[in-house]
Amino acid sequence: MHYYFITGTSAGLGKAIAEALLQREDVFVYGISRTSSISHTHYKHVFADLSNPSQLSSIFELFKASFTNQDSLYLINNAGMIDPIKYLGDFTAEEILLLMQVNLISPIQLMNAFLKIPQEVKKKIVINVSSGAASKVTDGWSLYGSSKAALDHASLHAAKEMELKSAANIHIFSVAPGVVDTLMQAKIRAVSKHSFSMVDRFIDLHETNALDTPEHVAQKYLKILDVPQEFPKVVFSAREL
């Protein structure tokens, strides 16, 4: 059986990945988000707000199920937030903590718990959904970009550690999806130039239909999940596929 644990399944890329997986046989998907928008016999919604550390315990409980050496387990840390978009010096302490909790701390905590699963399973795969912002300097995106850069680096460390442990059945990736037509893009387009000088570029991407669809990008992530051995790099972009 293939068990998938996916955060941020209420909309966008997370929902598209979950729905694509549910078209397959021998699949069970646990969708983790604040709202439920998928109904399927092989889907269980787990209500959790990743900005609240105490709510992670319900996800940790999922990892305590009885798995066998015929089962494959997958963790997709997809949930994330980009707002508020503004210059460093304009944030409140609460805004900084909230974004880092959702984008960085929660994914690392979930990876940590996922890798602790004691049973010998067929394979474990982690995909952290990164961003091109992790390697670029964009005004107004200091928190978002730094959170994704740190997530990339945590993934590199974890992958190296699995290599040193000779855990050949464990694969860890941090994959940027490219520019996808999601609610996050709508939030970006609504920001003023005062806080984000490049806003016109993102408005133009939308108006010229240059944004990729969540469904198309989801298929790229499924390919990585299906044949992880074909992807030697830990950090890369889905645009390369």
Q: Mean pLDDT per segment of 10 residues, for the chain of length 241 residues?
A: 97 97 97 94 96 95 93 98 95 98 98 94 97 95 97 98 96 96 86 87 83 94 97 96 91
Which entry of 3, 4, 30, 144 is annotated as an active-site residue? 144
Q: What is the pLDDT of residue 46?
A: 96
The pLDDT of residue 105: 98
Distance (Å, rounded) from C-alpha 130 to C-alpha 145? 9
**Calpha distance 9→46 (Å, rounded):** 10
- 3-state class (DSSP) for residue 77: strand
144 is catalytic: yes
pTM metric for this prediction = 0.95
Whole-number Å distance between alpha carbons of 159 and 172 = 5
Whole-angstrom Cα distance, residue 65 to residue 228? Answer: 24
145 contacts 134 by C-beta, under 8 angstroms: yes
